[in-house]
Amino acid sequence: MFRHQNALRLSRSLFTKKSHHATSNATVSQNQRRHLNIHEYQAKELMGKYNVPHQRGKIVRTVDEVEKVCEQVKSEFGTENMILKAQILAGGRGKGVFDTGYKGGVKFCTSTEKVKDAAKEMLGNRLITKQTSATGTPVQTLMVTECLDFDRELYFAILLDRASDGPVIVASSQGGMDIEEVAKTSPEAIVKVPINYTSGVTQADVDTVAKEFGYEGQKKENLAQVMKNLYQMFVDIDCTQLEINPLVETTDGRVLCVDGKVNIDDNASFRQKEIFTKADTSEMDPRELEAEKYNLNYVALDGNIGCMVNGAGLAMATMDIVKLYGGEPANFLDVGGSASVEQVKGAFQIITNDSAVKCILVNIFGGIMRCDVIAEGIVEAAKQLELKVPLVVRLAGTNVDKGLDILRNSKINVIGASDLDDASQKAVKAISLESMAAAGGLVQFSVGHCIAVG
């Protein structure tokens, strides 16, 4: 599935010097993902299973639970001071601001009462960070952790890199900050170490990272164990990204993971059922969840032209051409190479659930995908949903004549297009005409005024 792809965002910033994406492509690249994103507390539970030293803690979901949990944290982990962390699927929590004006989603607390006061400010309110939407994300879970004394903050990650054809370790002595910013301002402070699938993390890999961190002796041995255990976790649970920021060196010489971002490949859901059943879908767009049911690749955008296309590349091109002619795509929606009538109907349902959509553009280039199947789905969906917005259709390829005949013989209103340029211009024009009619108090524009297929 295409969802938030932080691993793609991170690898692009670290492994490329320039970006050549068109505007709409860049937008989708920042928002799509092919992985399950799990919370910090879930990542730390997994670290515990793989004997990865980490900052320990417990979760609370109500203010009433705080006092009991704080006492447990103090007694079990031997800490007096505590850290309260909002659990949302986005970075930048510490510098975030709640919709109430309360600042910070990560708080240092010297007593149970201060934890409770901060919990009251966080739970049930929306936290806005540089990685959330402008309206923020509701905080439903908090983590109360031990407070660690450390001298240095480091950065360590393992992620899949297409150029290296496998996993790559990314490490920096400049941790605790935005690694993308480090890549821009101090690229020499980042080391990248491709990992051989067969041998795993080798001593040479450890040596490279240890040199960047300035580690020798026992510290280097501690680092080696952390690296090897994290890599084993990365492989075993089918990660696309495992990011530790910061990895810290405590005052007593230990190497610990203070925070963790873990993304797991969607395609491995059949192998990782236990993890996927615990997925928090509350922060996902409901339309993306609906798209998963139909096995569609969908990402919501901010425009008003709903797009249904087969193939990710063609979908990107379609959005770019729409923008070229002054339009704004409302979504990225790829029905794939072998969509059924039911999937097409599902796609239309998802698109029309977006109140911002003022026109639907269908762009199909049939190879494995048959144009007649698409046409049948379009007709059934248009009738079932009683489509109220202009519908522009461009079909080409396998069984295109059958598809066009189905559309011609149906009683639905369709604006036909000969190619992608034609389709994009007609979609933009259809919205313009409808807006003009509405502004002038005229009869609302109807696609029936512009029937032309083939």
Q: If we measure between CA atoms, which residue out of 138, 391, 146, 170 comes closest to residue 284?
A: 138
Here the tokens at position 158 are: 């393992």
Bridge partners, residue 85, by sequence: 106, 143
Asked if residue 344 has pLDDT above 70, the reply is yes
What is the per-residue pLDDT across 143-179, written as a single tens digit (0 to 9) for each?
A: 999 999 998 999 999 999 988 899 999 999 999 888 8
Asked if residue 438 has pLDDT above 90, the reply is no
What is the per-residue pLDDT across 219-254, written as a single tens digit (0 to 9) for each?
A: 999 999 999 999 999 999 999 999 999 999 998 889
Q: If we measure between CA atoms, which residue out of 202, 222, 223, 226 comes closest to residue 212?
A: 223
CA gap 381, 375 in Å, rounded: 10
Is the separation of the CB atoms in 298 and 330 below 8 Å? Answer: no
Catalytic-role residue among 243, 249, 328, 434: 243
CA gap 409, 214 in Å, rounded: 74
What is the per-residue pLDDT across 270-311, written as a single tens digit (0 to 9) for each?
A: 999 999 998 888 887 788 888 888 889 899 899 999 999 999
Q: Is 290 among the residues known to form the active site?
A: no
Lowest mean pLDDT among 156-165, 202-211, 429-438: 429-438
CA gap 65, 164 in Å, rounded: 47
What is the per-residue pLDDT across 46-77, written as a single tens digit (0 to 9) for each?
A: 999 999 999 999 999 999 999 999 999 999 99
Phi and psi angles of residue 349, each rounded to the nearest 5 degrees, phi first = -60, -45
Compute and round to an integer the Cα radius of gyration of the chain. Answer: 26
Asked if residue 429 has pLDDT above 80, the reply is yes
- Could you tell me the pTM of the whole model? 0.75
Catalytic-role residue among 41, 155, 215, 231: 155
Q: Is 188 among the residues known to form the active site?
A: no
